[in-house]
Structure 1
């Protein structure tokens, strides 16, 4: 680094000597924080120059605040949890791929809209979240964050690779289900694409209404200021995360419309994916109040408060809602798509869905 020293104390005629080379060797922080900082300060001027000074060695103990050490431990834990979650996502998607190939007759009962939502969910993090996550870590100048050291590039590569594998598998699954669905009516069976369009017509207003509600609440809370645009964008990202948490909604609606019965989805896929989506909220409850200093607020890698709804009440509601969706899909595949309707209303429900 280049160092400067002030030559005159007069603030009006102040001058500086910036021909100074400063070298520091930063200590590792994976220990107990009792390491030392070593370095040197030397002048780049000739020895005959009046401003020249002799070589100086610097040796100083360093101290890592407890809040910094807590943040380092949390960041390492969250990176591991991201890798585990994405790895399990790949496994669950692969299980559904084998399930669909063994039971092609169940393909018409799998929601294309659900697969599309999941594919978009796997596509966005490599483009936005990871870039912001790792660039934020790189921009930190605090000594304590150097615990990641030279492993940052390797960690980034592994996380990106696993997530990209999950996205490719999900995209392949979407393509397989899209192309395997018949386009014509088969006897008395309704064209499955009609049910897909009906599912889209029912779910789209729900998603739009939820997004508009968030936008209006944010607009009101920020007093219609231009500065609130970033907050609106953050809320929309959070709403996208909420949509992913409820990824089973299109499948639930499709099962009602088709009165489907049978294992259209493998149990490991929808139960496992639900677990992966709800695990960040369970972890957020375990993590408790976010009392870490503001310097580290942006370094949430897993269960990032800026990319989803994370608060004790939201965590509980979302976890309960995801479990309820999974239980309903399980009963639909076991009993029937409209098991929740009273028998005297099932015919009327059927006539209503046929009119959509």
Structure 2
């Protein structure tokens, strides 16, 4: 076996390792085999000293792509060639509107390879580092090379075949050209490998380098976030069998500023989770102190309300119980740079959630014991059953309505894909919908207590103000933050959630407003009931309405 590490890479030879395997036996021996050549398929720098990239298509690029003039007194600032902006995923579309996904990965920027050059512009630097950073003898026009790949459905007819099958393959293009950071334009010549059985290809022809690639990067710090827009087209005549239809692509460009913003947002959300769970523990403790001082109010606390709150803390613990014990887990820590610290924060969150769960279990146990003790009337149990009879059909009907609304919202989001915008495709399963609806019930945890106060004609101060107002604030704060997040962060910065996770509740502008208003109204109703009586919120004609139980009457003779 012989291995060789080329000193120069180019658009026609990008293998960083090439070699050959052959048999040293004679052709007459049974174990003899012919020579086998191989090469690396991954286009990346393997660390060979002195490795360089040679640009061979720049003359053609200059002819096909004239330099754009910068117009206007105030010039816009575009991504730097040495920043993370240059690497992005793309959404590819043909003339029929059919789509697929692909990747733009830089191989070299100027005389340096991209994997080395990006270390000069780190996420830990100032947010403007990708803009102000300039190397010695820096020019706004830089030579660049790319590795482009995307899933190639057969209906794209991108490789000369006209098959009716539904199979897919990964299509790769080698490209090189120039990037102008003064105008944000990228122009390249591309080459694709031709299959040996490709119709129209010659026997001595292995590459099709008649491909033109254009891309326009959006300006940084724009008021309205724009996408990278571009085209991939063949410069061959339409009669040529190697000609393919023009493809359009769009992508969200993530700059260094956006990366820093994303890390800051994740840190903020982890802190908010810790604060919310800590406050929940404090509010439940205050209610425990309150019932210890006023034990007579314990039987009047809604068991259903306490069960909902307890399950709300238990379910996250059950779903993420491995976080307390498993340290080697696969996580998508994009640009965080400190996965260990992130896992420590997650464990702290689980521990605080466990404490809140145990405190709620204790409050539930005290309420249940007060109900089952001797000397208590059956009136409170009757009122609890009446509240349950009202809530069960209400929850079922609300679940059906919420499910249809959520499905309609998901359908609307998927239809936005036809507009060319990049949309994250989430798998909305039945389990995910049930989990979201459970979060909605948890937001309205005071409803069982309100109904119990009505049926039991309660006139006592059952819940402490700190408990029902504080827990309500903890439940509503994620929706207020979601409204802020939707207007303050880019869509791609919402790829990971630590707080106000849409998969655990209903989060959208409409739902946030509805839940904020609804939760506030429930808290106000509890406050009014505890001051004026359980039935004070009913119309006057229903306040004195009651059902009397028939009792046997004995007649004396």
Q: TM-score category by the smaller chain?
A: 0.7 to 0.9
Which residue pairs with 2:186 in the alignment?
none
The CA deviation at 1:106 is 0.8
The CA deviation string for residues 60-110 of structure 1, in whole angstroms up to 9 with x for no partner, is: xxx962222111111000100000000000000001111111111111210
- Which one of 426, 431, 441 corresponds to residue 243 of structure 1? 441
- The correspondence of residues 72-111 of structure 1 with structure 2, limited to 5 A, is 72-111=263-302
Match of 1:14, SS state, is strand
Alpha carbons of structure 1 residues 218 and 8: separation in structure 2 relative to 1, 3 Å: farther
Q: Aligned with 1:152: secondary structure?
A: helix
SS in 1 for 2:538: coil
Contact residue 82 and residue 302 of structure 1 kept, 8 A: yes
Please tell me whether Structure 1 or Structure 2 has the larger radius of gyration of its CA atoms: 2
1:3-42 counterparts in 2 under 5 A? 5-7=16-18, 13-16=37-40, 29-32=123-126
Name 1:203's counterpart in structure 2.
391
Give the conservation status (yes or no) of the 8 Å contact 1:184–1:191: no
Counterparts of 1:79-228 in structure 2, within 5 Å, are 79-128=270-319, 138-140=330-332, 142=334, 144-146=335-337, 148-182=338-372, 186=376, 190-217=378-405
Name the CA distance, whole Å, in 2 between partners of 1:86 and 1:300: 16
Are the aligned partners of 2:123 and 2:259 in contact in 1 as well (CA < 8 Å)?
no
Larger RCO (CA under 8 A, 6+ residues apart): 1
Which runs of no fewer than 5 residues in structure 1 stay unpaired? 36-62
Unaligned runs of 5+ in 2: 6-14, 21-35, 49-114, 131-253, 412-424, 551-557
- Asked whether the equivalents of residues 183 and 192 of structure 1 are also in contact (C-alpha less than 8 Å), the reply is no
Q: Which moved more, 1:245-254 or 1:313-322?
A: 313-322
Instruction: Tell me how many residue pairs correspond in the alignment.
Output: 311
Q: Which has the higher helix share?
A: 1
The answer on 1:254 being equivalent to 2:439 is: no
TM-score by length of 2: 0.50
Matches of 1:266 and 1:323, distance apart in 2: 16
Query: What is the TM-score with the length of structure 1 in the denominator?
Result: 0.75
Aligned to 2:95: none
Per-residue deviation, 1:274: 0.4
Question: Which SS does the other structure have where 2:544 is aligned?
Answer: helix
Offset of residue 138 of structure 1: 5.0
Query: 1:202: Cα distance to partner?
Result: 1.3
Contact 1:7–1:14 (Cα < 8 Å) also in 2: yes
Contact 1:255–1:332 at 8 Å: present in 2 too? yes
In the TM superposition, residue 334 of structure 1 has moved relative to its aligned partner by 0.7
User: CA offset at residue 239 of structure 1?
Assistant: 1.1
Residue 221 of structure 1, CA deviation: 7.7
Structure (1 or 2) with the greater strand fraction: 2
Q: 1:86 to 1:182 in 2, by over 3 A?
A: same
The answer to whether residue 478 in structure 2 is matched with residue 280 in structure 1 is: yes
Counterpart for residue 507 of structure 2: 310
Structure 2: distance between partners of 1:212 and 1:73: 38
What CA distance in whole angstroms lies between the structure 2 residues aligned with 1:219 and 1:80? 32
What RMSD over aligned residues (CA atoms) do the two structures have, in Å? 3.7
Secondary structure at the aligned position of 2:500 is classed as: coil
8 Å contact kept, 2:439–2:505: yes
8 Å CA contact 1:281–1:303 kept in 2: the answer is: yes
